[in-house]
């Protein structure tokens, strides 16, 4: 069975299997380079396979994957924070802080916390131009209504 993507790429069953394998490796925490080495492809191909596999997953499965990944990151962060909080004076404190920040960053990206927020800014110039536009529309309606009334009063009924 084959599937055709919006870009016209024909995805065979073998391709879907390879994409799924790449995603499985990624979900185990492997880097794209390690996935590429494991599958005998380039790093870009490994990335594309993971992305295709993610797109093919229904949204419920994506939510489940996000939940599992969040739990995994929370567990890692908890262990790293123990090292940060209970510094025994040995080296590695700054490394633990760095790892904690990296995990927190990854978690924020996974949950979409760093997405840009759209803001609509309305300036006084825009408000003034909108008022003038609406006044022009109302003025046209008033003229049309007065022309209609004038036309109606000049006709006589026999």
Q: Note whether residue 134 is domain-resident.
A: yes
Q: Are 54 and 23 in contact (CB under 8 A)?
A: yes
Co-location of 64 and 109 in the same domain = yes
Co-location of 50 and 63 in the same domain = no
> What pLDDT sits at residue 7?
55
Three-class DSSP category at 147: helix
Co-location of 4 and 52 in the same domain = yes
> What pLDDT sits at residue 105?
92
pLDDT tens digits, 6-19: 555 566 888 888 99
| Domain end among 9, 27, 57 | 57
Residue 3: beta bridge partners? 11
Counting every residue written for the chain, the total comes to 158
Residue 10: beta bridge partners? 4
DSSP H helical ranges for 2-123: 13-27, 32-39, 43-56, 59-85, 93-111
Co-location of 76 and 88 in the same domain = yes
> What pLDDT sits at residue 9?
57
pLDDT tens digits, 126-146: 888 888 998 888 887 767 666
Q: 86-118 b/e with 16+ CB inside 10 Å = b?
A: eeeeeeeeeebeebbeebeeebeeeeeeeeeee
Query: The domain that contains 25 carries what CATH number?
Result: 1.10.10
Q: Note whether residue 157 is domain-resident.
A: no
Q: Note whether residue 135 is domain-resident.
A: yes
Nearest one of 42, 61, 62, 52 to 21, comparing CA atoms: 52
Co-location of 109 and 137 in the same domain = no
Co-location of 39 and 86 in the same domain = no
Co-location of 16 and 53 in the same domain = yes
Q: How far is CA 26 from CA 17, 64, 71, 82, 99, in A?
A: 14, 15, 16, 27, 19
Co-location of 125 and 105 in the same domain = no
> What pLDDT sits at residue 152?
59
Co-location of 48 and 13 in the same domain = yes
Q: How many domains does the chain have?
A: 3
Q: Note whether residue 29 is domain-resident.
A: yes
> What pLDDT sits at residue 10?
67
- Print the domain residue range for 139: 120-152
What's the mean pLDDT in 15-26? 90
Co-location of 70 and 39 in the same domain = no
Distance of CA 37 to the CA centre of its chain: 29
């Amino acid at each position: 069975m084959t599937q055709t993507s919006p870009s016209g790429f024909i995805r065979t069953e073998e391709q879907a299997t390879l994409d799924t394998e790449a995603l499985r490796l990624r979900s185990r925490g492997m880097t794209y380079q390690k996935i590429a080495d494991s599958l005998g492809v380039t790093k870009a191909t490994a990335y594309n396979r993971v992305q295709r596999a993610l797109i093919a997953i229904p949204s419920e499965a994506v939510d489940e994957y996000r939940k599992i990944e969040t739990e995994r990151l929370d567990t890692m962060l908890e262990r790293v924070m123990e090292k940060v909080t209970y510094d025994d004076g040995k080296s590695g404190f700054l490394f633990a802080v760095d790892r904690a920040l990296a995990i927190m960053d990854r978690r924020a990206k996974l949950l979409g916390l760093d997405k840009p927020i759209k803001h609509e800014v309305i300036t006084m110039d825009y408000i003034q131009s909108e008022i003038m536009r609406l006044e022009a529309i109302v003025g046209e309606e008033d003229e049309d209504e007065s022309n209609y009334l004038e036309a109606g009063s000049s006709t006589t009924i026999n």
